Amino acid sequence: MQFPIILLALAATSSAIDILGFGGSTYVAEHCKNSDTIVVSWRGVQADTCYSSSTSLAAMQFVAIPKTWHIITRSYSALSCPSNTKLQDFHSNGNDQVCHGSAKGEIRYRGAGYSFEPTKRSEQNDSNDLENANGTKKSCVGPDRVHLIDGQEYAVTGIDDAIVAEM
């Protein structure tokens, strides 16, 4: 009788969303499309969690979103994703990718997260799901990978944020 539970667990892990952080100080006409500028990434991210970078980013992209999921993606200008620093929020609307980038490249991103859209018409989701009800911040997660200009990718889980920023 454990088979359905195991199958459900495997299905959940195969539907993991990733977040890509793009570097660069100048605007690239097609932000989120040039993989050469990916500097950090988070793999298998969870809903209602803040993912932050000690390095400011030119754009952030949510990828591998299951098309049947309806989520709200959010980006922030501060590390801990406080609601007063929210820059953008977008609904996935059945898309498998959502890009957060500014039209002229003047916005810098430091945090991101997502939540599921409410399923009932009467529910509202105007609050910042990355804060607890009492206004305290939920824990933030740093990147698990650093991407270098030459294409090399390094796992950085457990490494101090200051060292990751130097990379």
- What burial letters (b/e) apply to 69-88, b meaning 16+ CB within 10 Å? bebbbbbbbbbbbbeeebbb
pLDDT digits (tens, 9 = 90+) for 23-80: 876 555 567 877 668 899 999 999 999 999 988 898 999 999 999 999 999 999 998 8
162 SS3 class: helix
> pLDDT for 150-164, tens place per residue?
777 777 777 676 666
**Pairing relationship of beta strands 71-76 and 38-45 according to DSSP bridges:** unpaired
**3-state DSSP assignment of residue 129:** coil
Q: Where are the domains of the chain?
A: 16-166
* Model confidence, pTM: 0.73
- The size of the chain, in residues, is 167
